[in-house]
Structure 1
Amino acid sequence: MMIKEYVMKALDVYTRAKHDLSNQLQMITSYLELEEYDKAKDSGAKWMTVIREEQKLFQLPWPNFLEAVIDHKTRSQNYSWRFEVNTSGDCVSDTFITKQFNCWMDFIHHISATGRQLIEIELYDDQDALEVCFILSGGNYTDIQGNDAFDWELSESILTAKFKINR
């Protein structure tokens, strides 16, 4: 990637992040102006949860995975994102988890949707493995069939791809 393209991509990411933050602050300000303090407090608490989970994600020792997440998040406007991170990421291959994530994203990009969908990434340590869940919701997935890359839980409105990485 040329330097100019890199700078433009970085600027785009920065601009979108500022826009999201501005929208959230505007919502909180509106609630305060309407003296709806509980709604303002709830909105602020939800936004702080989102920020904390993203911070935990970006502290993982997986630079390739993080780059892939950022790349997909900034290129894919059809999705909202949620992260739940309960792992340090130690003893897990960055290359492997990145490959799995890209495989899953390639799979879901072929699913047509009428509205905005939610992508959730859940990462949990258990006693001897890292449990990974990639979840897509917000569409109608009645006719979707999983592939052999993951253990699938499929319902009309939620697709979940799960796998474990042994330590």
Structure 2
Amino acid sequence: MKAVDIYLRAKHDVSNQLQLINGYLELGHYEQAKAAAERWTQRVHEEQQLFRLPWPAFLEAVVNYQTTASRYSWRFEVNSKGDAASDAFVTSQFDRWMSFIATIPAAYKQLIEIELFDEEETIDVHFILSGGDYSDVQGDEAFDWVISDHMITAAFKINR
């Protein structure tokens, strides 16, 4: 996807959120307007944390999937500074995981969560998919899997 397309999509998302908040305010639904603004602020904060990572290839892959894979919504929890040496590995693992989940049929929009945590000796990485029926899904050898009827977690560690 081209930079202009990404920019236009981001503008569209911001416009939608502002219209939602404005609509709540016009109707006098101040608590709902406040809650919508807080959700949007949290989302922006999560993405800011993600984009501080020293992983340009990974970040480009995430943006590419965000803008092309419309059947997902996204959430990020980043409690890691990352390390520049792991960019290619994390990106290949993410691409592998996205290819894996793309084969899972879904009736509704699903949530992708990316969680990154610094531990003393490792960076713990979790890719999580929820919002569907995963009772027939089986993992492969690429990750440590936790699969339930309604959530799939693929985890791995990066040694420092």
d(CA) in 2 for partners of 1:129, 1:14? 35
Query: Which residues of structure 2 form unaligned runs of 5+?
Result: none
**Alignment partner, residue 3 of structure 1:** none
- Structure 1 length-normalised TM: 0.92
- Sequence identity (%): 57
- Structure 2 length-normalised TM: 0.96
- The amino acid that maps onto 2:29 is E
**Alignment partner, residue 114 of structure 2:** 121
- Where does 1:1-167 land on structure 2 (aligned, <5 Å)? 9-90=2-83, 92-167=85-160
Deviation of the 1:86 alpha carbon: 0.7
Cα RMSD over matched residues? 1.2
Q: Deviations over 1:44-75 (max 9, x none)?
A: 11101100110111111001101111111111
CA contact (8 A) 1:92 1:165 kept: no
CA contact (8 A) 1:31 1:40 kept: yes
Query: Which residues of structure 1 form unaligned runs of 5+?
Result: 1-5
- The amino acid that maps onto 2:37 is G
Moved more, 131-140 or 87-96: 87-96
Deviation of the 1:161 alpha carbon: 0.4
Deviation of the 1:90 alpha carbon: 2.6
Q: Deviations over 1:84-120 (max 9, x none)?
A: 1111113651011111101100100111111111111
Give the 3-state SS of the residue equivalent to 1:141 in structure 2.
Answer: coil
User: Stretches of 4+ moved more than 4 A in 1?
Assistant: none
